[in-house]
Amino acid sequence: MNGVLEVELSGTLDSNDSLDYLPVERKYFPSIPVGNTPLWHPAPEIPENISKKYGFPELYLKDDGVNPTGSLKDRASFLVAAFARKHDINEVVVASTGNAGSSMAGIGAAAGLKVKLFLPKTAPPAKMIQALQYGADLVLADKNYDQAFALSLEYSNTRGGMNRNTAYNPMTIEGKKTVSIEIFNQLKKAPDHIFVSLGDGVIMSGVYKGFRDLFQLGRIEKIPVVHAVQASGSDSICRAMESGNFNGKQGIPVRSANTVADSICVDTPSNGHLALKNLNKFGGHCFTVTDEEILSAQKKLSSDCGLFSEPAAATAYAGFLKKKATLDSSETCVVLLTGNGLKDINSATNKISVPKNSINSLDEL
């Protein structure tokens, strides 16, 4: 699982279209529009805008919550679906904390695929309902995501179907790299810093893969500094970065993960070894933020910028807020926002107050 192979560079020297960097021909992709998400300056037209407020004139938000099923996971599902169609595979099996599952269900529906989905029974209801709407066959694991992962592998090994699990299927990293190629196209350069939230570590490895492809093609001169942000209750990659490995003598014991950011809540990260290798090789940083910091970053992002993201996405913004004092403010920073806030409204109620009473006349105000 941790030794997942990466796909060789498949881009061409002159193309700007991120689909040309993927290892499946264009004709196999379903027509649903994945990617090409906005990269924007928060409110540049307002004098007291957010990038000025924080002293970062070159701060950008990459909003992947606007993908068809509301998360960056669509980039991976898109390539997995194309791969399945090319190879006449008609069933895809996937375990997920919620987003990869609802994504595979939606993109799979657009591609005419059957989807067997394993979710922890604690997954946010919106993500389950989304998957069921798209027509996935849903199985709930009694314990947690790690258990759902194991059950889904047993299912695809013994009963068939192609397994799309994040990190297990190399198309997941490969598909997610398109986000970096888009950022490069939108900025016309690589950013200096990019903030990415970290659960299994696949999004981050995809981000690196995209920039590495661009570097290998001679289109950029350096790999951006990646700031990988974990929730303090789900921090195994940060701990492994300090201790050098995940287990063994000097290693860290598996700790049961717990955070409000359900999409990055994982005991044993399935792509942990590659995540560590990339961070070490390219001088990336890994650090944690608390649930309190995540929820307040989520609220800030919504009320300062108008971008409502789910907690796992706001984690990257919490990371930017925590680190900004240590950065050179003239540098270009991108915060990668991986999922839409409507996916988990329960945790979004923490920092707001819903009116308790209703009125019949304005005199009651």
Whole-number Å distance between alpha carbons of 92 and 77: 10
* 203 binds ligand PLP, rule: CB under 6 A: yes
The residue count for binding ligand PLP (CB under 6 A) is: 19
Of the candidate spans 20-28, 36-44, 157-165, 198-206, the one that interacts with ligand PLP by CB under 6 A turns out to be: 198-206
| The binder of ligand PLP chosen from 105, 107, 171, 313 (CB under 6 A) | 313
Tell me if 333 sits within 8 A of 196, measured CB to CB. Answer: no
Sheet order of strands, 162-163 included: 137-141, 114-120, 91-95, 162-163
Closer residue to ligand PLP (CB): 268 or 350: 268
Of the candidate spans 12-20, 47-55, 137-145, 192-200, the one that interacts with ligand PLP by CB under 6 A turns out to be: 192-200
- Rounded to a whole number of angstroms, the minimum distance from the CB of residue 164 to ligand PLP is 13
* 126 binds ligand PLP, rule: CB under 6 A: no
CA 214 to chain centre: 20
Of 259-298, binders to ligand PLP (CB under 6 A) are: 263-264
* 61 binds ligand PLP, rule: CB under 6 A: no
What one-character DSSP code corresponds to residue 223? P
Closer residue to ligand PLP (CB): 219 or 307: 307
Whole-number Å distance between alpha carbons of 265 and 271: 14
What one-character DSSP code corresponds to residue 68? T
* 314 binds ligand PLP, rule: CB under 6 A: no
| The binder of ligand PLP chosen from 74, 174, 310, 344 (CB under 6 A) | 310
The gap between the terminal CA atoms of the chain, to the nearest Å, is 58
CA 292 to chain centre: 20
- Rounded to a whole number of angstroms, the minimum distance from the CB of residue 203 to ligand PLP is 4
Radius of gyration (C-alpha) of the chain in whole angstroms: 20
- Rounded to a whole number of angstroms, the minimum distance from the CB of residue 340 to ligand PLP is 8
Whole-number Å distance between alpha carbons of 104 and 127: 12
* 307 binds ligand PLP, rule: CB under 6 A: no
Q: How many residues in total does the chain contain?
A: 365
* 339 binds ligand PLP, rule: CB under 6 A: yes
* 166 binds ligand PLP, rule: CB under 6 A: yes
DSSP per-residue codes, 233-248: TB-HHHHHHHHSSSSS
Q: Which residues of 207-225 are buried (b: 16+ CB within 10 A; e: fewer)?
A: bbbbbbbbbeeebbeebbb
- Rounded to a whole number of angstroms, the minimum distance from the CB of residue 36 to ligand PLP is 18
Tell me if 269 sits within 8 A of 275, measured CB to CB. Answer: yes
| The binder of ligand PLP chosen from 312, 314, 321, 333 (CB under 6 A) | 312
Closer residue to ligand PLP (CB): 18 or 96: 96
Cα–Cα distances in Å, from 19 out to 63, 200, 213, 359? 19, 24, 13, 53
Of 79-108, binders to ligand PLP (CB under 6 A) are: 99
Cα–Cα distances in Å, from 266 out to 192, 257, 286, 312, 358? 29, 6, 16, 12, 41
Of the candidate spans 125-133, 185-193, 200-208, 251-259, the one that interacts with ligand PLP by CB under 6 A turns out to be: 200-208
* 152 binds ligand PLP, rule: CB under 6 A: no
Task: Tokens 């990269």: give the residue.
Answer: 39
Whole-number Å distance between alpha carbons of 62 and 316: 11
| The binder of ligand PLP chosen from 200, 213, 235, 344 (CB under 6 A) | 200
* 120 binds ligand PLP, rule: CB under 6 A: no
- Rounded to a whole number of angstroms, the minimum distance from the CB of residue 286 to ligand PLP is 11
Sites of contact with ligand PLP (CB under 6 A): 71, 73, 99, 166, 197-204, 263-264, 310, 312-313, 338-339
